[in-house]
Amino acid sequence: MALQVGDIVEGKVTGIKPFGAFVSLPDNKTGLVHISEVSYEYVQDLAAVLEEGQTVSVKVISIAPDGKIALSIKRTHPAPPRGNRQGGGPRSSQRPKREAPPRVWQPKPVQPQGEMSFEDMMARYKTQSEEKIADLKRVTENRRGGYSRRRG
């Protein structure tokens, strides 16, 4: 019986490597189940999921011209619904809920200093503006690698 892409066959695990497991197939052929094709869940250590000599059901994914056979264990089972995924891996759709609302920049509250004349308010505004511009220049110059302007 010649193997074809899409066939589901029984095989024995003959070797486990960090990247996948080698499976002995009928007709004295061997295929590789990549670690990403073992389970729909994240698998960090194959030795925790598979062991040598274990009989597994595998699906033939591809057969390369040089004879290499790619196999999958997870494709022999239907995929679980996305909402019911287990585990807290980086791709998990279950995120922790935020306790507080997101922080949004708010201007500092201005403390009224009694009755101020228009000139006093303008002087304070000018001082604050100059401080903000100086901060902005400092930040931009740091990003540019210390660029400074020459005055002519």
Region 52-73 average pLDDT: 92
CB 35 within 8 A of CB 46: yes
Q: What is the pLDDT of residues 90-118, one digit of tens each?
A: 555 566 665 766 666 667 666 666 788 88
pLDDT of residue 2: 81
Task: Provide, rounded to the nearest whole percent, the portion of the chain with pLDDT above 90.
Answer: 41
Tokens encoding 4: 């074809």
Q: What is the pLDDT of residues 28-41, one digit of tens each?
A: 899 999 999 999 88
Average pLDDT, the chain: 81
pLDDT band of residue 19 (cuts 50, 70, 90) is: very high
Distance CA 152, CA 148 (A): 13
pLDDT of residue 138: 84
Adjacent-strand bridge partners of 57: 10
pLDDT of residue 100: 66
> What's the pTM?
0.52
pLDDT of residue 91: 54
pLDDT of residue 30: 93
Buried b (16+ CB within 10 A) or exposed e, 121-148: eeeeeeeeeeeeeeeeeeeeeeeeeeee
